[in-house]
Amino acid sequence: MTKEDSGERLRLISTSEDLAQACVELAKGDFLALDTEFHRESTYWPQLCLIQAATADYDVMIDPLAGLDLAPFLELVADESRVKVFHAARQDIEIFARLLGKPPGPIFDTQIAAMACGLGDSISYENIVSKVLKQQVDKSSQFTDWTRRPLSEKQLHYARGDVTYLREIYVWLRNRLEKKDRVHWIEDEHAALTDPALYAFDPDLAWKRLKIRKYKPDYLALLARTAAWREQLAQDIDKPRGRILKDDALQEIAQQRPASAEALDRLRAVPKGFSRSKHGQSLVEMIQETLADPKAYAPQVERPASSGPPAGALSDLLRVLLKQVSDEEDVAPRLIANAADLERIAREDAPEIAALTGWRRDVFGEKALALKAGKLALAAKPNGVRVIEV
């Protein structure tokens, strides 16, 4: 099915036959700009409502709620000879990773590439369209209900712009990176986004998203098993984790060790009467089982190594140096190093961090080590900072 508006064709694909034909055209491109519209407010798994795809000269929108066969399109997304272009890719990749069984690759994230092109850290899609294309994005349809059918012309125009602008931004960023010989600057970030572990929702690993507050076996065992119980239940009934129990409740259970339904209901972060709810009894039984032999269920967690003496003024100087280097190189500071990296450089003799390897070492790491060794100094000047070799 296609829709017309102001002379522009809005290709909304709602049949398997039309999708197969569209995929023939999409397959002619060497890249695929992609975006999705989905709902997740009341579910664990994102509900995919719309897929937008574009090559350099062709674009379509696909209605996954129409019951069509997505296989031909997913083959294109899985094809590793074709670059997949996203902006702020993680949530979109999560959707395709679930559909494909693995994250698609190779990818090009325009938000990451923008950092290497001096466009700022975590730039929004609206702002990158404005800066690169001098266009304005109408965001009024962003939070509309994408599950309702039929979709309005306004919704379709908004959704289409998410990939037609994206393909132009991709070409602009790619050319700029190639001209500056910076394509390799963003390889690590793209590789991290295609790591299958990032999209693995193994309940037994759910505890790793939580802050470790103690290292006693009973605390670790209860935290890990309660997190796994919540994660598995959330997946089974397709509800957000927080709708079952908040993180604070998991922490309180792990610390207070409630051995009975009554004790569980006395916890402040646990909803009153939760033990008598549909799933409450299974939680109580799991807690009792865990407390009977906590060492059998406690994950192996290494205590963090001593961080050494306070970094003090040196880390502050490193931040100034990083800002100066970033300004000179026209790159977002976070792409080079983060606050934890700076503190480790200040405290440790030879920290194993990305900031001291590859291109990052060339533009910043060597200067940081020289500053730490007293071989480099920083001096104020009217419009910034001057780096001086001592």
- In this structure, what token pair is assigned to residue 157? 């125009």
- Picking from 12, 13, 26, 17, the residue whose alpha carbon sits closest to that of residue 77 is 26
- In this structure, what token pair is assigned to residue 25? 């055209």
Residue 382 has a pLDDT of 82
Q: Where are the domains of the chain?
A: 2-199, 203-297, 312-389
Check if the beta carbon of residue 105 is closer than 8 Å to that of residue 80. Answer: yes
Residue 307 has a pLDDT of 52
- In this structure, what token pair is assigned to residue 351? 């920290």
- Picking from 76, 81, 78, 21, the residue whose alpha carbon sits closest to that of residue 53 is 76
pLDDT in 10s for each residue of the chain, 390 residues = 333 333 355 779 999 999 999 999 999 999 999 999 999 999 999 999 999 999 999 999 999 999 999 999 999 999 999 999 999 999 999 999 999 999 999 999 999 999 999 999 999 999 999 999 999 998 887 788 999 999 999 999 999 999 999 999 999 999 999 999 999 999 999 999 999 999 989 999 999 999 999 999 999 999 999 999 999 999 999 999 999 999 999 999 999 999 999 999 999 999 999 999 999 999 999 999 999 999 999 999 988 765 555 567 899 999 999 999 999 999 999 999 999 999 999 999 889 999 999 999 999 999 999 999 999 999 988 887 888 888
CATH class of domain segment(s) 2-199: alpha beta
Alpha-carbon gap, residue 390 to 384, rounded angstroms: 19
> How many Cα atoms are found within 13 Å in the side-chain-facing hemisphere of 43?
8
Residue 309 has a pLDDT of 55
Residue 9 has a pLDDT of 57
Same fold, 2-199 and 203-297: no
Residue 280 has a pLDDT of 95
Is pTM, for the whole model, over 0.85? yes
- In this structure, what token pair is assigned to residue 138? 């109408």
Residue 306 has a pLDDT of 57
Q: Return the CATH number of the domain spanning residue range 312-389.
A: 1.10.150
Residue 235 has a pLDDT of 97
Amino acid identity of 5?
Answer: D
CA distances from 276 to 229, 261, 273, 282, 363 (A): 16, 8, 6, 10, 60
The CATH architecture annotation of domain 203-297 reads Orthogonal Bundle (1.10)
